[in-house]
Amino acid sequence: MKQLLMLTAVIELGAGLALLCCPSAAVALLLGAPLDGGAALVVARVGGTGLLTLGVACWLAHYDEKSQAARGVVSAMVLYNLGAVAILAAAALSAQPVSVALWLAIVLHAAMTVWCVASLLENQSRRKEEL
């Protein structure tokens, strides 16, 4: 679980910084169209702050990956990654043309979902063996 938490932290910190520093460029890379209007920039930056928060939580949790809190963080990341897959896939299916970066993001979030679930299941079976 330690490697999962560390990699998740790096990914989410990078995405969060991109959305905070240059939200229109980050969204244009992903969706093929820049953000229009001040409200969209504010929402993107708030999302970037949320991703930074996830990154920090994952980084801190990696120091004690066997704790209940770390399992909680990984459980939350399952929900986040599943949501990201659904939202990004819906965008990919409705947009023409679709950028390669969007499909890569979908695959990345799907893979991270599988890794998170596998880590939680492995951790649960280890805990049962210890009892």
According to the model, what pLDDT value does residue 50 have? 96
Alpha carbon distance 77, 55 (integer Å): 10
88-125 pLDDT, tens digit per residue, is 999 999 877 788 999 999 999 999 999 999 999 998 87
According to the model, what pLDDT value does residue 25 have? 93
Alpha carbon distance 22, 19 (integer Å): 6
* pTM for this prediction: 0.88
